[in-house]
Chain A
């Protein structure tokens, strides 16, 4: 059995959740809505985060291009993902939504440019 207190980050209310795993079942209490339940289960079983950062870009009026992961990547892979992101160097022009890294760290998630430059 595993038990964890957490604060829901889905909306500004910030419910204090108690998430409990009994055998294969995850029970969430303290949530005021269903989104809190979904968040609680995900946060205990496979917490993920959308990662945003920048990569080096040449021949543009700025030296950094903002990027984001198209979906959540597992929390424990964040530092590896950042390492891979930091190894990328692009040349302008880049279009918004252009794929910068495909399937980062085998997560199945692409990294895309979050602006045109």
Chain B
């Protein structure tokens, strides 16, 4: 059996930032485990720019952003096991893992940081009717094929879902010589950032069809086309609006799910709104000594925020190893109010906060000129005006610790209020 103070599971942006911060916090015995053959995670296939505006004050591509963190990891001499699959984690922080060099191994950790990221929703998850031919990919799989492995996925492509990956792949496919007929979105608004709609779709005259979904897939061995239909306000297809689009490839960009099989096997309590573990202000889950950060907790839209959150997980895992985290003391529960989908962290132990509390949340609808109202036990403590809020854009609130002091067993809530003009 191997022994480490901190084991980080996942070598993507979250795992890298957590491991680096834990080392800087004075912990020497750290191991990072990743199942891929190199570090960096999904950033390695995100060759477009727009990363790092907060972290480095410049626009980087995914691989560039990753390389800066990988270099730091190497300089700090942090140990890694690549090509290694973690099979199970127990409540007492015993890790079962396997690779072709060491075979099966067990690793005892004093603290664990879960940083497994998320995976894409597939055709099965959204139950598209029709035959089951070849040529249907998730947008991220196509991205890895094209940007890293050097395989082109098709010539005439239809994209379902307007998440950022779908939009970015629309532009990528055009640049690689494919034809993109359209991007269809079931919601009346896009799930991606406005800037991506402009520079990925409008720049290349790709139509974005809102309130549309696929009602049939044609083709036996290979996909030949899709049938698109308009949907009503309940997202139900409207009969008589069907339209056929010929294509040899269908890309799905229909949402991401935190990857939590290991968290569940460790008995960690999950939040049904985020599909990730319930965490506290230190990014610790409901199992003592197991921390989580990044997309495994909730799906972020900016990697910069993942890095920030993960540093918090890393430094607190180090504090835990040194027995410096305060376990009892005043505690608040965060609850989403009207118009808010979720809040992270869900548990706040004020004694562990230094001066601010960062709350992350997503709103449920598109709002212009609204405000976020923060209440403690029903009493408003702060209001933040927002010119624009959308489900595709994560909201971050920095709360002054003074507002939360001496509140025990309290409920902190955030709700959207529409501004009266």
B47 touches A114 (CB 8 A): yes
B64 touches A64 (CB 8 A): no
Tell me if B273 counts as interface (CB < 8 A to partner A). no
Interface flags, A42-60, vs B, CB<8A=1, else 0: 0000000111111010000
Mark A residues whose CB is within 8 Å of B. Answer: 6-7, 9-14, 32, 49-54, 56, 61-64, 66-68, 75, 78, 82, 96, 114-116
Q: Known contacts A9-B194, A14-B388; is A49 also within 8 Å of B149 by CB?
A: no
Q: Known contacts A14-B194, A68-B61, A96-B67; is A9 also within 8 Å of B149 by CB?
A: no
B388 touches A52 (CB 8 A): no
B63 touches A114 (CB 8 A): yes
B47 touches A52 (CB 8 A): yes
Interface size class of B (residues with CB under 8 A): 20 to 34
**Nearest 8 Cβ contacts at the A-B interface:** A14-B194, A63-B150, A115-B63, A66-B47, A9-B195, A114-B61, A64-B150, A9-B198
A96 touches B64 (CB 8 A): yes
Contacts of A61 in B (CB 8 A): 37-38
- Closest-by-CB residue of B relative to A6 is B198
Interface flags, B58-83, vs A, CB<8A=1, else 0: 01111110110000000000000000
Label chain B's interface by main secondary structure. Answer: helix
Within the complex, the shortest CB–CB distance from B370 to chain A, in Å, comes to 14
Cα–Cα, bound, A12→B193 (Å): 6
List 16 additional contacts besides A54-B146, A64-B146; criterion CB under 8 Å: A9-B195, A12-B194, A14-B194, A14-B195, A56-B150, A62-B148, A63-B149, A64-B147, A66-B61, A66-B63, A66-B147, A78-B175, A96-B63, A96-B67, A114-B61, A115-B61
Identify which of residues 33-61 in chain B touch chain A, using a CB-to-CB cut-off of 8 Å. Answer: 37-38, 44, 47-49, 59-61
Cα–Cα, bound, A68→B194 (Å): 22
Q: Known contacts A61-B37, A62-B149, A68-B49; is A53 also within 8 Å of B175 by CB?
A: yes
Name the one of A53, A62, A75, A82 contacting B203, with C-beta atoms under 8 angstroms: A75
Contacts of A68 in B (CB 8 A): 47, 49, 61
Name the one of A10, A11, A50, A64 contacting B49, with C-beta atoms under 8 angstroms: A50
Interface flags, B179-200, vs A, CB<8A=1, else 0: 0000000000000011101110
Within the complex, the shortest CB–CB distance from B201 to chain A, in Å, comes to 11
Within the complex, the shortest CB–CB distance from A86 to chain B, in Å, comes to 9
Tell me if B393 counts as interface (CB < 8 A to partner A). yes
Q: Known contacts A53-B175, A62-B149, A114-B47; is A9 also within 8 Å of B199 by CB?
A: yes
Cα–Cα, bound, A67→B146 (Å): 13
